[in-house]
Amino acid sequence: PWETYKADISIDVEKHHKPVKFMDKFAYWTVQALKIPTHMFFQRKHMCHAMLLETVAAVPGMVGGMLLHCQSPRRFEQSGGWIKALLEEAENERMHLMTFIELAKPQWYERAIVFAVQGVFFNAYFLTYLASPKVAHRITGYLEEEAVRSYTEFLKDLDNGSFENVPAPAIAIDYWRLPAESTLRDVVEVIRADEAHHR
């Protein structure tokens, strides 16, 4: 069993946080650098790209929530709702990944890539969050902006017939409370909205 979630697809998916301060620029260019090998490797292989994106996207909420959870009793302070919000975000990203695993049926080597990327990114993000939570959150914002762009490209390829618009898996229909006849396009649209909210 899993919790259900209602996506708000009315959000502006074009919004961009312009990097002005040095730390914003550092976060932005870090994400841009990470994007280059990913795009070279996956190109238009949307399912594999989505699995990698969601593997990485599931980390920030968990790391932030975990560190704030440890910090709260240590400092005898409330979190202001941040722990719950970050852990809910991590769960939402995990459901994105579970959905794409259901759709893509990854091979062993694709699962190995997911495992390796998550291990490297988790530790790098953990250290970044310890050094500067603000930079870590800004990196997450720019990662989510890239996810929104990636899913927009996915939707374009679904619309122009370059990618088959298969029926939505049961896990997605149940989680997002989608109509029974929903398709992959509907799933990608709600996932893109989720990413825009996380941004």
Residues pairing with 183 in the sheet: 167
CA gap 116, 107 in Å, rounded: 14
Q: Does 181 appear as a known binding residue?
A: no
Q: Does 197 appear as a known binding residue?
A: no
Q: Is the CB of residue 152 less than 8 Å from the CB of residue 14?
A: no
**Residue 73, both tokens:** 């009793």
Q: Does 93 appear as a known binding residue?
A: yes
Q: Is the CB of residue 62 less than 8 Å from the CB of residue 90?
A: yes
CA gap 141, 38 in Å, rounded: 18
Q: Does 144 appear as a known binding residue?
A: yes
Contacts of 38 (CB under 8 A, 6+ apart): 49, 52
Q: Is the CB of residue 188 less than 8 Å from the CB of residue 103?
A: no
165: left (phi over 0), alpha (psi -120 to 50) or beta: beta
Which residues participate in the annotated binding site for Fe cation? 54, 93, 96, 144, 195, 198
Which residues participate in the annotated binding site? 54, 93, 96, 144, 195, 198
